[in-house]
Amino acid sequence: MPEPKQPEKLIDEKGLRIDGRRLDQLRPIKLEVGILDKADGSAYIEQGKNKILAAVYGPREAHPKHIALPERAVIRCRYHMAPFSVDERKSPAPSRREMELSKVIRESLEPVVLTELYPRTMIDLFVEILQSDGGSRCAGITAASLALADAGIPMREIVAACAVGKIEGKLALDLSDAEDKYGEADLPVALVPNSSMITLLQMDGSLTPSEFERGLGMAVEACKAIHSMQREALKKKYHEIKEVVEEKEESEVIA
Amino acid sequence: MATMSKKIDGQFVVPGERLGVVEEFDAGTGTVDVNGTVYAAQTGKATLDPTRRKVMVKTLAGPPVVPEEGSAIIGMVEKIQEKMAIVNIIMIDNHKVERPFTGLLHISNSSPRYERAMGEVCKPVDLIRAKVIDVSARIPKLTTSGRGLGVIKAYCSNCGGELVLSGNILRCSQCRNVERRRLADDFLGNTEPEKA
Amino acid sequence: MSHTPQLPPVAKLEQKTIVDMISRGKRIDERSPESYRPIQIQVGLIEKANGSAQVHLGKSKILVGVKVQTGEPFPDTPDEGVLTVNVELVPLASPSFEPGPPSEQAIELARVVDRGIRESKAIDVKSLVIQKGKKVQVVYVDVYVLDHDGNLIDASAMASLAALVNAKVSKMELKGDEVVAKPGHHSLPVNNYPIAVTFAKVDKTILVDPSLEEEQVMSARLTVTIDKNGSICAMQKGGLSGFSVEELKKAVGLAVQKAAENRAKVLAVAKG
């Protein structure tokens, strides 16, 4: 795939972005729950051109044993990009960026998992970026928290994540690849909605404190919108199962 | 208050959905109490137990399968020492566990009778049916002392052949070596017809 | 893979006492929640480096050496020089540091310091080109942690900035196929002065400049890097919990103020 050229303008005279979105508009999001057979829980997200799989294994016996904690489960996390996920082939060996993102993704989800219920075990979280299009860590968190719910791991609530950026001096929601590359700032945020807690916050570029406050507000609202999509995705998957289970229960009662 | 409860009962919920407050009912399995508010912690059907004033979520996802006190397990003996056996737990309450948990069977919990040595209870590669009695230690503790518990499949420590029961004697189907085990009532190897 | 870290057993023992004190508005070293430990800065200790600086932040000690060498640009930025930040958590600095490949902690530390310098455009990378697409100057910022008593991020960021400001380099030019140094030394083109300000959340209290004991009991950590114009150029949240929107706004406000104070200290020494 040829590398996309720098667009002349990121915002046109009508105030629309290169993909036709308004500044406060998310890219189209598609969520699916429970799509991998072997994993204890899994989810898939498409957000713009992002295509990301998340899978959860566990709680299982901690390995290596010395990482186990006596009072809670250990969470392990790997964020990894497929070699073909970006324009220039990426070496499959974990980069420093991937190691950092593995850490911040884990830290964004740790606060909601009821790890105290499974002492000495380990919960593994795998986020594979099949195609990357800006905001992949946030989309990865959105998918990973669905995979945790799909695994039936008890959790306080579902975490949603979204980035806000600055392009041509204006705050814009959910930056695409080109906007991230040629924009002036990127502010990825993860929100635990009921407790209004921010569990992922990073920033690079340049924002004044007042831009930061407005950007954070936009990100929080977007996370809430994504959160309701996550609930819908879970309901969609489990509604079918629920009906099957109920039919079975009813027939058992009759029998 | 009753109307609120009615609304929740039977509802399909996902983690983080508010079920009520602790003044109405206690947080049961599949729910979590956050500062007095009860939320669903799992995906499934909210169920009220009015007699025990408890709300639960009957989960449709998962739930995680881990050894808990009282779990019925099937394990493969990994190694034995004089007084104990290390067991790889491969099934918990009829759920297969792809990556085994480790369990520990001490000789004092291995049989209702006195056993002299672990080697007369089970040997490596044997399959045992056991119950989890304690998960507070670093490795879950097992017992094979109860009814239906014990070795369900055994292999010859000499040649690896399957052991079969003929009468009361446990014998290797390949090399005829005689061995001892703490067998479960329904030992799977008792297929060889008794000799006349 | 990144996994939930383990607290040293001793820290577990002290955890409750420290948290209780902080909830009552006291810090173990009797600072106010909004004050830094004493900061000492020295520059030019390493003659073989182009620039160097040592920062003592309380008992934390960081040494940074800047080396500038000729190298090749990245293929996607042929008209820019290269800036790299590397962190060594030297095993002599803490019982928790082990020799071996960089840990997750070292990588995060390096990337947060790097982001502050890069995103504030502190180094004019375009001025480092010798021959477009072929030869550029590469600025290596090597952070050496010598004593770990907490808040390595702020100390490393200050030491890196001081070492960059302190650095003297030769102007390079192309003579035929060879890169040769022009006579004389110049300062590196440092255009911005990013300062990192790190907060720890302990119970419900937000503390500036956490010490090691405070880091071991904190539920979450936040770093805000502020440039010379008072804008934010990098942020990083860490730790097993999170922050409310209000806490974040308050922290950013405080960071602007603290960064200005610390920037003055760094520049007073580094610029001589």
pLDDT of residue A38: 87
Whether B192 shows a pLDDT value over 80: the answer reads no
Which two structure tokens, joined as six digits, stand for A155?
A: 């959790």
Question: Same topology for domains B2-59 and B72-179, yes or no?
Answer: yes
Q: What residues form DSSP beta bridges with C243?
A: A198
- Of B56, B57, B20, the closest CA to residue A242 belongs to B57
- CB–CB of C238 and A104 under 8 A? yes
Interface test with A, best of B66, B73, B95, B139 (most A CBs within 10 A): B66
Which two structure tokens, joined as six digits, stand for A98?
A: 């991937």
Overall CATH class of domain B2-59: mainly beta
Q: Residue ranges of the domains in chain B?
A: 2-59, 72-179
d(C-alpha A6, C-alpha C80), whole Å: 17
Distance from CA of A1 to the nearest CA of C (A): 15
Distance from CA of C85 to the nearest CA of A (A): 12
Other CB atoms within a 10 A radius of the CB of residue C192 amount to: 19
Whether B2 shows a pLDDT value over 50: the answer reads no
Q: Which residue type sits at C189?
A: P
pLDDT of residue A86: 92
Q: Residue ranges of the domains in chain A?
A: 29-254
Q: What residues form DSSP beta bridges with A131?
A: A51
The answer to whether the beta carbons of residues B66 and A121 sit under 8 Å apart is: yes
Of A61, A156, A239, the CB nearest to B41: A156
Distance from CA of A233 to the nearest CA of B (A): 10
pLDDT of residue C221: 98
Which two structure tokens, joined as six digits, stand for B121?
A: 């209870």
Q: CA of A228: how far to CAs of A177, A225, B11, B80, in Å?
A: 25, 5, 17, 53
Task: Give the rounded distance of the alpha carbon of C83 from its chain centre.
Answer: 14
* Residue listed under structure tokens 């070293």: C29
Q: Would residue C3 count as lying in a domain?
A: no
- CB–CB of A157 and B63 under 8 A? no
Give just the sign of the alpha carbon dihedral B140, B144, B150, B156: positive
pLDDT of residue B81: 95
d(C-alpha A55, C-alpha B43), whole Å: 17
Q: Which residue type sits at C166?
A: N
Per-residue pLDDT of B128-182, as tens digits, reads: 999 999 998 889 999 999 889 999 999 999 999 999 988 889 999 999 999 999 9
Other CB atoms within a 10 A radius of the CB of residue C271 amount to: 13
Cα angle for residues C91, C94, C97 (degrees, 5° grid)? 50
Contacts with C239 from chain A: Cβ below 8 Å: 107
The answer to whether the beta carbons of residues C262 and C195 sit under 8 Å apart is: yes
d(C-alpha C3, C-alpha B68), whole Å: 24
| Nearby residues of A29 by Cβ (< 8 Å), 6 or more positions away | A45, A46, A47, A226, A229
Per-residue pLDDT of A141-183, as tens digits, reads: 999 999 999 999 999 999 999 999 999 999 999 999 999 999 9
Of A99, A124, A203, the CB nearest to C232: A203
Q: CA of C48: how far to CAs of C136, C183, C198, in Å?
A: 21, 18, 31
Spans of chain C, pLDDT less than 50? none
Contacts with A99 from chain C: Cβ below 8 Å: 2, 104, 107
Distance from CA of C105 to the nearest CA of A (A): 9
Which two structure tokens, joined as six digits, stand for B75?
A: 């394990």
Whether B194 shows a pLDDT value over 50: the answer reads no
3-state secondary structure of B160: coil
d(C-alpha B114, C-alpha C151), whole Å: 60
Whether A250 shows a pLDDT value over 90: the answer reads no
Kindly tell me whether chain C and chain B come into contact, counting contact as 3+ Cβ pairs under 8 Å: no
Residues on A contacting B at a C-beta cutoff of 8 Å: 34, 38, 40-41, 57-61, 63, 70, 112, 114, 118, 120-121, 149-158, 193-195, 230-231, 234-235, 238-239, 241-242, 245
Size of interface A-C (CB pairs under 8 A): 127
Domain A29-254: which topology?
Ribosomal Protein S5; domain 2 (3.30.230)
Which two structure tokens, joined as six digits, stand for B105?
A: 């069977």
- Of C248, C192, C221, the closest CA to residue A212 belongs to C248
Q: Does C230 touch chain A (CB under 8 A)?
A: yes
User: Of residues C157 and A247, which shows the higher confidence score?
Assistant: C157
Per-residue pLDDT of C3-59, as tens digits, reads: 999 887 777 778 888 999 999 999 999 999 999 999 999 999 999 999 999 999 999
pLDDT band of residue A242 (cuts 50, 70, 90) is low
- Of C170, C161, C27, C184, the closest CA to residue C83 belongs to C161
Contacts with C2 from chain A: Cβ below 8 Å: 76-78, 99, 102-103, 105-106
- CB–CB of B32 and A239 under 8 A? no
The answer to whether the beta carbons of residues A145 and A109 sit under 8 Å apart is: yes
Q: What residues form DSSP beta bridges with B39?
A: B18, B32
Cα angle for residues B167, B172, B177 (degrees, 5° grid)? 95
The answer to whether the beta carbons of residues A26 and A173 sit under 8 Å apart is: yes
Over residues A97-103, mean pLDDT: 97
Q: Does A224 touch chain C (CB under 8 A)?
A: no
Helices (H) then strands (E): counts for chain B: 1, 16
Cα angle for residues C118, C120, C125 (degrees, 5° grid)? 50
Q: Does C79 touch chain A (CB under 8 A)?
A: no
The answer to whether the beta carbons of residues B40 and B57 sit under 8 Å apart is: yes
Of B17, B39, B62, the CB nearest to A153: B62
Q: Give DSSP secondary structure letters for chain A.
A: -PPPPPPS-SB-TTS-BTTS--TT-PPPEEEEES--SSSSEEEEEEETTEEEEEEEEEEEE-SSGGG-BTTB-EEEEEEEE-TTSSSSPPPSSPPHHHHHHHHHHHHHHGGGB-GGGSTTEEEEEEEEEEE--S-HHHHHHHHHHHHHHHTT--BS---EEEEEEEETTEEEES--HHHHHHSSEEEEEEEETTTTEEEEEEEEEEE-HHHHHHHHHHHHHHHHHHHHHHHHHHHHHHHHHHHHHHHHHHHHHH-
Burial class (CB in 10 A: 0-12, 13-18, 19+), B107: buried
Other CB atoms within a 10 A radius of the CB of residue B114 amount to: 7
Domains contained in chain C, number: 1
Q: Would residue C113 count as lying in a domain?
A: yes
Q: CA of B155: how far to CAs of B81, B125, B163, B171, C183, in Å?
A: 17, 7, 5, 10, 83
d(C-alpha B49, C-alpha A99), whole Å: 46
Distance from CA of A146 to the nearest CA of B (A): 10
Looking at this predicted complex, what is its ipTM?
0.86
pLDDT band of residue B190 (cuts 50, 70, 90) is low
- Of B141, A33, A213, the closest CA to residue C231 belongs to A213
Whether B193 shows a pLDDT value over 70: the answer reads no
CATH, residue C224: 3.30.230.70
Interface test with B, best of A61, A237, A246 (most B CBs within 10 A): A61
Which helix (H) or strand (E) segment holds residue C115: the answer is helix C104-119
- CB–CB of A152 and B100 under 8 A? no
Distance from CA of A176 to the nearest CA of B (A): 30
- CB–CB of C233 and A204 under 8 A? yes
pLDDT of residue B15: 96
Give the single-character DSSP code of C128: G
pLDDT of residue B189: 58
Over residues A184-191, mean pLDDT: 98
The crossing angle, in degrees rounded to 10, of helices C245-270 and A209-254 is: 140
Contacts with C106 from chain A: Cβ below 8 Å: none
Contacts with C244 from chain A: Cβ below 8 Å: 196-198
pLDDT band of residue B188 (cuts 50, 70, 90) is low
Domain that holds residue C37: 9-270
Overall CATH class of domain B72-179: mainly beta
Per-residue pLDDT of B4-24, as tens digits, reads: 555 788 899 999 999 999 998
d(C-alpha A81, C-alpha A52), whole Å: 9
- Of A96, A112, A211, the closest CA to residue A161 belongs to A112
- Which residue does chain C place closest to A72, by CA atoms? C4
Contacts with A144 from chain B: Cβ below 8 Å: none
Per-residue pLDDT of B158-171, as tens digits, reads: 999 999 988 889 99
b/e per residue, C98-115, with b = 16+ CB within 10 A? Answer: eeeebebbbbbbbbbbbb
d(C-alpha B102, C-alpha C243), whole Å: 38
Q: What is the mean pLDDT of chain A?
A: 92
Which two structure tokens, joined as six digits, stand for B3?
A: 């109307």
Per-residue pLDDT of B42-84, as tens digits, reads: 999 999 988 889 999 998 887 899 999 999 999 999 999 999 9
- Of C27, C42, C37, the closest CA to residue C57 belongs to C37
d(C-alpha B130, C-alpha B136), whole Å: 17
Which two structure tokens, joined as six digits, stand for C54?
A: 């040592």
